[in-house]
Amino acid sequence: MKRRAAWAGLALLGASLGASFAGAWAPQPAPYAGPLFDAHLHYNVEAAAGPRPVADVVRRMQAAGVRAIVANSRPNDGTRVLAASPAVRAAGITVVPFVRLYRDRADYTGWFQDASIERMVEAELRAGTAAGPYRGLGEFHLYDSTNADGPVARRLMQLAQARRLAVLAHVDDVAIEKLFAHAPGARLIWAHSGIGGVPVDRVRALLAAHPTLMGELSYRPGLTQADGQLSPDWRALIEAFPDRFVIGSDTWVNARWESYEALMTDARRWLGGLEPALASRVAWANGAALFGVPDPR
Ligand SMILES: [Zn+2]
């Protein structure tokens, strides 16, 4: 009796070990291997004037297979440097420049009540970059969505809509509605697609209500599960809106540059779990279509 129980226990142990081995060794889909469009890249002063000269960031982008970037920086000098860099051009990386609303850290929390930001944006738009005119505004932050109602946010959204500039906004779902109320046809890229973890169904409803809304997926809580693949909810959402999502690195601090290749490897892993045509849309084609970027050579 005892012996039988011991064997039964061993058999159970064996079964559970077998199951966990099977889980650990379940074949992962091959990672996505095509070009990447990094739709959320910063080249801030701490990187540019510190440990990340242009040659360094170009090397990182090249190693990661990134062939186009939405570039923005605090202040805007970093973007102009990337746009003018022969090394960037030689690496076959297309720069899509955005005007950042920030001259310094204080502007993160003050831009929406500061008319001098609008004058700075106008001056940048007039000047353009060596890679051509600016194509968007942002990234900007609204930590309190009520500030999306202010006159600076309203005028900048209307400016973006009138000039067909995209807007990269780090905001919550309430602010998404408020920003669209100012400019219903604006091309709005929702940085992180809800960094506070707004429910997937709410993201779905906003995408359905606003055809010009796109979602960028860095830092999005719940996007992937423990094995690095998409969670079922997010897979279903991306499949339902195949032309509305883009990826990004969000190199907002130097530590993100240090892990740049690893971040892109993570993205390639979950992209590889999608149908190949859908993976290449999210990885590359959706961003390329938004800005008319030709396919890489
Ligand atoms: Zn950012």
The Cα–Cα gap between 161 and 55 comes to 35
pLDDT value at residue 27: 84
Residue 8: pLDDT over 90: no
pLDDT value at residue 132: 96
Distance 218 CA to ligand 1 centre (A): 9
pLDDT value at residue 245: 98
The whole-number average pLDDT for the span 59-70 is 98
Distance 9 CA to ligand 1 centre (A): 53
The Cα–Cα gap between 53 and 84 comes to 14
Distance 75 CA to ligand 1 centre (A): 13
Distance 277 CA to ligand 1 centre (A): 27
Distance 191 CA to ligand 1 centre (A): 7
Distance 79 CA to ligand 1 centre (A): 14
Distance 140 CA to ligand 1 centre (A): 8
- Residue of 18 and 192 predicted with greater confidence: 192
Is the Cβ–Cβ distance between 171 and 146 less than 8 Å? no
The whole-number average pLDDT for the span 249-274 is 98
Query: For residue range 144-181, what is the model confidence (pLDDT) as tens digits?
Result: 999 999 999 999 999 999 999 999 999 999 999 999 99
Residue 14: pLDDT over 70: no
Distance 216 CA to ligand 1 centre (A): 10
Query: For residue range 199-239, what is the model confidence (pLDDT) as tens digits?
Result: 999 999 999 999 999 999 999 999 999 999 999 999 999 99
Q: Which residue has the tokens 């973006």?
A: 160
pTM over 0.85: yes
Strand 94-99 and strand 136-141: pairing?
Answer: parallel
pLDDT value at residue 23: 52
Q: How confident is the model at residue 18 (pLDDT cuts 50, 70, 90)?
A: very low
Query: For residue range 222-232, what is the model confidence (pLDDT) as tens digits?
Result: 999 999 999 99
The whole-number average pLDDT for the span 23-30 is 76
pLDDT value at residue 25: 61
Token digits for 187?
């091309």
Nearest Cα to Cα of residue 174 among 142, 150, 136:
142
Residue 62: pLDDT over 60: yes
The whole-number average pLDDT for the span 230-257 is 98
Task: State the average pLDDT for the chain.
Answer: 92
The whole-number average pLDDT for the span 100-129 is 93
The DSSP string of 189-246 is EEGGG-TT---HHHHHHHHHH-TTEEEE-TT-TTSB-TTSSBPHHHHHHHHHSTTSEE
Is the Cβ–Cβ distance between 67 and 291 less than 8 Å? no
pLDDT value at residue 35: 98
The whole-number average pLDDT for the span 74-81 is 97
Percent of the chain with pLDDT over 90: 88
pLDDT value at residue 262: 98
Q: Rg of the chain over CA atoms, in angstroms?
A: 22
pLDDT value at residue 297: 74
Q: Which residue has the tokens 């860099």?
A: 85
Distance 252 CA to ligand 1 centre (A): 5
The whole-number average pLDDT for the span 13-31 is 60
Residue 24: pLDDT over 90: no
Percent of the chain with pLDDT over 70: 91
